[in-house]
Chains A and B, each alone.
Chain A
Amino acid sequence: MHRALIVKELREAAGLVVLAVLAMALVLAMLTGFPILPWYSTRIIHYPFLQDSLRFNFWLVAGGLAATLGLKQSAWELGKGTYHYLLHRPLSRHHIFGIKLAVGGGLVMGLSGLLLALYACWALTPGHFPAPFEWSMTWPAWRLWLALPVVYLGAFLSGVRPGRWFGSRLLPLAAAIPLTMLVSLAPWCWLSAITSLLVMVPGISAIFYYAQQRDY
């Protein structure tokens, strides 16, 4: 039954995942100078991982995926009324929502991590960029990556938490923005990881709480 739920979540996320993969491929092409578009210049003008465009494009694509997937996994079922079908399956709500979070979080972290890993592989391969490569150059990007669960959980919580109107429902997502800055601007990766975990624990607890207590 867990497998059935995982397959369902993956199938429902497939459209967004395809869009995200295309966007990530485009970002990767832009960063590496790969001529993915005929009119695109192949001249590379930035040091890998040290340019602002990475931060912007990564946030645009990975952050966008985290926010839309979080909302889709939670609010979409609410809008369609399918929670009445899903939540009557003989499985606890903790299990059902836990699987949703695991699949969604896994997709966000996996895809965005893959983007960074591919970019790092490209940068460290000799002949691609005329400059030395140090793994420490990638730490800021990984700190951004560690902030993605905060966005995802904020979006998921916005979808599952009851609110009087749309604006107030989005409060958790809005609150995620300063928290992601807190995570991504930490001076060390380990501190980012701890901060991210400290935000994730109450976030996941709140999701489980509302999943159990709200009316459907």
Chain B
Amino acid sequence: MSDAIITHRLTKHYGSKRVVDCLNLRVPQGCVYGLLGRNGAGKSTAIKMLLGMVHADSGHAELLGERCDHLAAETRARIAYLAEGHPLYGWMTIGEAVRFTRPFYPTWNGPLADQILDHFELSRRQKIRRLSRGQQAQVSLALAVAPEPELLVLDDPTLGLDTVVRRDFLESLIQIIQRHGRTILFSSHILGDVERVADRIGILVDGVLRVDCPTETFRQRMHKVVLEFHGPKLEVETVREGPLCPGLVSYRQIGSRVELVTVGYDDAQRTAIESLQPHSIEVLDLNLEDAFIEYTRGPRRSLPLFAMETEDASSTDSQGAA
């Protein structure tokens, strides 16, 4: 199976800040790829570079086998792009937006556009500027899908939509995906959406693609290990700089309790953790959202206030017991 999207060391700076750093990405045809990252991680810039809206400082990318900075009109017609915020001409009615977009595409599927608009109960006479954000997203989706594109690139398509509209939007997207096995690349920071739709994810952290694997693999490999200690207080540095380093994503200490987030949990890590002689070890699976949060948050420190409260509580308990 060939790749619908290929990027090679794609890099972009804004001023001195490197917003996308040597992005190497391959999205096979027929794949639904969720590009994740926190705000400012570089998702939108990466997508804009793919669509030729932003020029890369170095590296290159190919969409459907063609360099993205020189996409021919014919190739562009095979790609749908939903930009962040669903920019459309507010002065147009929905009918006018359809009539404006239709002539650009020889493969325009009018009945499909009508079907989607009818599904969302959108009247052709409604002015786009009078529509809610959710309705604008629905119009954008209809306009993007009607030309029967082979590749859909969606930049945070559910941003700003309420839960119900978001669910409805995603279900429509799933139906669209099921038609002809299209390739879809979409960015999001709503993990529930990604879990529902994507079969592969990439996670951008500060412009660097840190994860590129099937969604389920990522979720299964992330673990939270909770260690309880009795006796002298454990220095967190012992954990961080100890033998756990290779798979350690983040750590946090609250009083005598240490929480570690690790990628994988194998015998070597178990042995290393046991060498710290905790009173108890609890290994928890993470859902995708927790795994994403732990992965992208990076090292975090315990808030001293909460740590003190825990200590105070434990000391009060021990005094009470005495």
Q: What residues make up the interface of A, taking CB atoms closer than 8 Å to B?
A: 1, 3-4, 7-8, 11-12, 80-85, 87-92, 213, 215-216
Q: Separation in Å of the B87 CB from the closest CB of chain A?
A: 4
Q: Give the complex CA separation of A82 and B77 in angstroms.
A: 18
- A12 to chain B minimum Cβ distance, whole angstroms, is 7
Interface size bracket, B side: 20 to 34
A23 to chain B, nearest CB (A): 22
Q: Told that A83-B87, A89-B76, A215-B55 touch, could you supply 14 new A-B pairs with CB distance under 8 A?
A: A1-B103, A1-B104, A4-B100, A8-B100, A80-B90, A84-B48, A84-B53, A84-B81, A84-B83, A89-B101, A90-B73, A90-B77, A91-B73, A215-B48
In the bound complex, how far is the Cα of B91 from the Cα of A7, in angstroms?
13
Q: Is B273 an interface residue (CB 8 A)?
A: no
B99: CB under 8 A from chain A? yes
**CB atoms of B76 and A88 under 8 A apart:** yes
B85 at the interface (CB under 8 A from A): yes
Among A84, A89, A215, the most chain B Cβ lie within 10 Å of the Cβ of A84
From known contacts A88-B76, A91-B73, A215-B48, infer whether A4 and B103 are also in contact, taking CB-CB under 8 Å: yes
The smallest beta-carbon distance between A137 and chain B, in angstroms, is 42
When A84-B81, A216-B48 are in contact, do A3 and B105 touch as well, CB less than 8 Å?
Answer: no
Instruction: Give the tally of cross-chain contacts (CB within 8 A).
Output: 61
User: Once the chains are docked, how many angstroms separate the CA of A92 from the CA of B76?
Assistant: 10
Q: How far is the CB of B184 from chain A (nearest CB, A)?
A: 16
Q: Are B81 and A4 in contact (CB-based, < 8 A)?
A: no
Nearest chain-B residue to A84 (Cβ)? B83
Which single member of B48, B73, B79, B88 contacts A85 (CB below 8 Å)? Answer: B88
| B103 A81 Cβ-Cβ under 8 A | no
B104→A84 contact, CB < 8 A: no
User: With an 8 A cutoff between CB atoms, is B74 at the interface?
Assistant: yes
**From residue B299, how far is it (CB to closest CB) to chain A in Å?**
33
Partner of B87, one of A7, A12, A84: A84
Is B306 part of the contact surface with A, judged by Cβ < 8 Å? Answer: no
A residues less than 8 Å from B79 (CB atoms): 88
Docked complex Cα distance between A81 and B103 (Å): 22
Q: In the complex, what distance in Å separates the CA atom of A68 from the CA atom of B167?
A: 43
A-B contact pairs, 6 of them (CB 8 A): A80-B90, A84-B87, A85-B83, A89-B101, A90-B76, A216-B53
Name the distance in Å between B96's Cβ and chain A's nearest Cβ.
8
Asked if A89 contacts B55 (CB within 8 A), the reply is no
Tell me the complex Cα distance, A89–B77, Å: 7
Structural contact, B85 and A216, CB atoms closer than 8 A: no
Q: How far is the CA of A151 from the CA of B309 in the complex (A)?
A: 68
Least CB separation from A215: chain B residue: B54
Asked if residues A80 and B87 are in contact (CB atoms below 8 Å), the reply is yes
Q: Which among B53, B77, B81, B87 is the interface contact of A215 at CB below 8 angstroms?
A: B53
Known contacts A85-B83, A87-B53, A90-B105; A12/B73 CB under 8 A? no
Contacting A81 at CB < 8 Å: which of B51, B85, B99? Answer: B85
Q: Which of A4, A82, A89 sits near B99, CB closer than 8 Å?
A: A4
Shortest beta-carbon distance from B223 to chain A in Å: 40
Evaluate contact between A8 and B89: CB separation under 8 angstroms. yes
Expressed in whole angstroms, the Cα–Cα distance for A216 and B53 within the complex equals: 5
Closest 3 CB pairs of A and B: A84-B83, A90-B77, A81-B87
Q: Which residues of B contact A7 (CB under 8 A)?
A: 100
Instruction: Give the complex CA separation of A82 and B84 in angstroms.
Output: 11
Are B87 and A3 in touch, CB under 8 angstroms? Answer: no
Min distance, Cβ A36 to any Cβ of chain B, angstroms: 30
Give chain A residues whose Cβ lies under 8 Å from the Cβ of B51: 88
Docked-complex contact A11 and B91, CB < 8 angstroms: yes
Residues of the B chain whose Cβ atoms lie less than 8 Å from the Cβ of A84 = 48, 53, 81, 83, 87
